[in-house]
C-alpha cells in the first residue's frame, strides 16, 4: 500500500485582470428595499409511517380537529402519519395581498421523512406578531427514501422540504425607500461590498448623467437627490436609468484560502515581491505482507506452521528546489509561477503564509 502526503485536487480560482464594468444594480441595493422573514408552526399530515408521535404534534392535531367542529379529548393517533414542522418564508419588499410565496418546512420532532406529506393551513407571522401570509400545500423534497424491516435507503435530507408558491400574502409590508425632507426627495445606493473607490466611481457616473445629484456619504452609501423636474410617477423610471449605468468595480488585493476543501481564491490586484521559494514533498510507503514460518527441528515432529504478518515501512523525502519568483504584477503571472513550482494546496497554504510573514505578499490573507 502506498500513501502520498499530497492533496490531489488543486483548485485555484483566478479573476481576470481585464477590468469589466458592472451595472450599478448588480453591485448595490436601494437603501430600505428589503424583505421580511415570516415564520409559523404547522402540521403535516398524510405521512406513511415516517412522522413523529410527540405530544406537541398530537395537541396540534387536536386543536385543528376542534376548529373543524370535532371535539376529542386525549387524542392518541399512532402510526406516524403526522409531523410538526417549522414553516418559513420571505415576504418581498413589494409583495401585495394575493401574491404567492415559496416556503420551506423543516421537522422539529423525531419524524424520519416528510415525503408525501401535505401541510395544513398555517398562519405565517412577522417579527411584529402580525399574520402576513397563510401557507399550505404538498411538500416537495430534494430526495427520496425507501426501506423495510431490516434495511433502508435514502437520498439527501428527508426532514426538510419546500412548497413552491405555497403561501398566499394576506397583508403587505411595502418598503419605504424615498426620503422626503424640506420638499427634497432622495434615496441611497448601498454597496454590497463597501469600497471608497467604487463608491466614488458610482457618484461620478451618476453626476455625469444627472449633474450634482449624487453625494458619496461613505464607502458603502451614495446619496442620490431626485431632481425637482422628476414627477412622482417618473421616480421608478429615474431609478431604473441610474441602476443600468455601468461602473468599474475596484477589487481589493486579497487571497482567500479554504484549507478544508483546498480552494484558493486570488484577487485581481494581488502582487508578490521578488522572492525565492523552495518546496518539496514526502512519500510514505506501507506494505503489508504475510510470511509463513515453518519450524525446522531435525528428527522431530514438534512445532506447527504459523503465519506471521509483517509490515514494511519506508519513508522518502523528495528533494525541494529553490525557485526564484520574480515580482508579479498580474494574477495570471502569479498563477503561472506557482503552477510551475508544482505546489499542491497544502504547499500553497504554507507558501502564502510564509510570503505574508516575509512581507512579500502585497495582499490581505484570509484563511477559512
Query: Hey, where are the domains in the chain?
Result: 21-32+176-248, 36-169, 254-281+319-367
Which CA distances in Å does 358 have to 46, 351, 362? 64, 10, 10
pLDDT digits (tens, 9 = 90+) for 256-268: 877 777 777 877 7
Question: How far is residue 26's CA from residue 249's CA, in Å, rounded to a whole number?
Answer: 11
Residue among 154, 219, 229 nearest 192 (CA):
219
- pLDDT confidence tier of residue 2, bands split at 50, 70 and 90: very low
pLDDT digits (tens, 9 = 90+) for 77-88: 666 888 899 999
* Lowest-confidence pick of 112-116, 186-190, 325-329, 339-343: 325-329
Task: Name the residue with higher pLDDT: 141 or 336.
Answer: 141
Stated length of the chain: 368
Is residue 335 within 8 A of residue 272, CB to CB? The reply is no
Q: What is the pLDDT of residue 17?
A: 41
pLDDT digits (tens, 9 = 90+) for 347-360: 777 777 777 787 77
Question: How far is residue 50's CA from residue 58's CA, in Å, rounded to a whole number?
Answer: 15
By three-state DSSP, how is residue 123 classified? strand
Q: What is the pLDDT of residue 260?
A: 75
Which pTM does this prediction carry? Answer: 0.66
Provide the grid cell at 99.
401574491
Is residue 127 within 8 A of residue 106, CB to CB? The reply is no
Mean confidence (pLDDT) of the chain: 78
Q: In the CATH hierarchy, which fold is given to the domain comprising 21-32+176-248?
A: 3.90.1150
Compute how many other C-beta atoms are within 10 angstroms of the C-beta atom of residue 366.
11
pLDDT digits (tens, 9 = 90+) for 70-124: 766 666 666 688 889 999 999 999 999 999 999 999 998 888 888 889 999 999 9
Compute how many other C-beta atoms are within 10 angstroms of the C-beta atom of residue 184.
10
Q: Which phi and psi angles does 329 have, rounded to 5°?
A: -120, -10
Question: How far is residue 232's CA from residue 216's CA, in Å, rounded to a whole number?
Answer: 24
Question: How far is residue 178's CA from residue 137's CA, in Å, rounded to a whole number?
Answer: 37
The CA radius of gyration of the chain, in Å to the nearest whole number, is 32
Q: What is the pLDDT of residue 8?
A: 32
Angle, in degrees to the nearest 10, between helices 331-341 and 345-358 = 120
Burial-class residue 103 by CB neighbours within 10 Å (0-12, 13-18, 19+).
Answer: buried
Q: What is the pLDDT of residue 342?
A: 67
Q: What is the pLDDT of residue 199?
A: 94
pLDDT digits (tens, 9 = 90+) for 12-52: 344 444 456 899 999 999 998 988 999 999 999 988 888 88
Query: How would DSSP label each residue in 282-316?
Result: EEEEEEEEEEEE----TT------EEEEEEEEEEE
Query: How would DSSP label each residue in 217-235?
Result: EETTEEEEEPPTTS-GGGH
Amino acid at each position: 500500500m502506498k500513501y502520498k502526503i499530497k492533496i490531489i485536487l488543486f483548485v485555484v480560482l483566478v479573476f481576470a485582470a481585464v477590468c469589466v464594468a458592472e451595472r450599478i444594480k448588480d453591485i448595490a441595493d436601494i437603501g430600505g428595499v428589503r424583505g421580511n422573514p415570516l415564520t409559523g408552526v404547522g402540521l403535516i399530515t398524510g405521512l406513511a409511517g415516517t412522522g413523529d408521535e410527540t405530544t406537541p404534534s398530537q395537541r396540534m392535531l387536536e386543536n385543528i380537529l376542534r376548529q373543524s367542529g370535532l371535539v376529542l379529548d386525549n387524542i392518541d393517533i399512532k402510526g406516524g402519519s403526522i409531523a410538526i414542522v417549522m414553516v418559513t418564508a420571505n415576504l418581498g419588499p413589494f409583495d401585495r395581498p394575493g401574491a404567492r410565496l415559496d416556503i420551506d418546512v423543516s421537522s422539529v420532532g423525531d419524524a424520519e421523512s416528510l415525503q408525501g406529506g401535505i401541510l395544513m393551513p398555517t398562519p405565517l407571522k412577522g417579527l411584529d406578531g402580525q399574520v402576513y401570509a397563510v401557507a399550505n400545500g404538498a411538500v416537495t423534497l430534494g430526495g427520496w427514501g425507501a426501506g423495510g424491516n431490516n434495511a433502508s435507503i435514502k437520498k439527501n435530507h428527508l426532514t426538510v422540504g419546500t412548497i413552491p408558491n405555497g403561501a398566499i400574502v394576506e397583508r403587505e409590508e411595502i418598503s419605504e425607500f424615498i426620503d422626503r425632507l424640506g420638499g427634497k426627495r432622495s434615496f441611497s445606493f448601498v454597496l454590497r461590498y463597501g469600497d471608497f473607490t467604487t463608491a466614488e466611481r458610482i457618484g461620478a457616473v451618476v453626476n455625469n448623467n444627472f449633474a450634482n445629484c449624487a453625494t458619496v456619504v461613505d464607502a458603502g452609501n451614495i446619496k442620490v437627490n431626485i431632481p425637482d423636474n422628476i414627477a412622482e410617477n417618473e421616480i421608478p423610471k429615474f431609478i431604473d436609468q441610474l441602476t443600468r449605468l455601468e461602473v468599474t468595480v475596484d477589487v481589493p488585493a486579497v487571497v482567500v484560502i479554504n484549507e478544508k476543501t483546498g480552494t484558493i481564491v486570488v484577487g485581481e490586484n494581488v502582487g508578490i515581491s521578488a522572492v525565492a521559494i523552495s518546496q518539496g514533498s514526502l512519500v510514505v510507503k506501507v506494505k503489508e505482507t504475510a510470511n509463513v514460518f515453518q519450524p525446522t527441528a531435525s528428527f522431530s515432529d514438534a512445532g506447527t506452521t504459523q503465519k506471521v504478518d509483517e509490515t514494511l515501512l519506508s519513508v522518502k523525502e523528495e528533494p525541494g528546489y529553490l525557485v526564484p519568483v520574480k515580482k508579479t504584477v498580474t494574477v495570471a503571472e502569479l498563477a503561472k509561477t506557482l503552477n510551475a513550482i508544482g505546489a499542491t494546496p497544502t504547499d500553497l497554504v504554507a507558501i502564502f503564509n510564509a510570503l505574508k510573514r516575509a512581507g512579500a505578499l502585497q495582499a490581505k490573507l484570509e484563511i477559512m
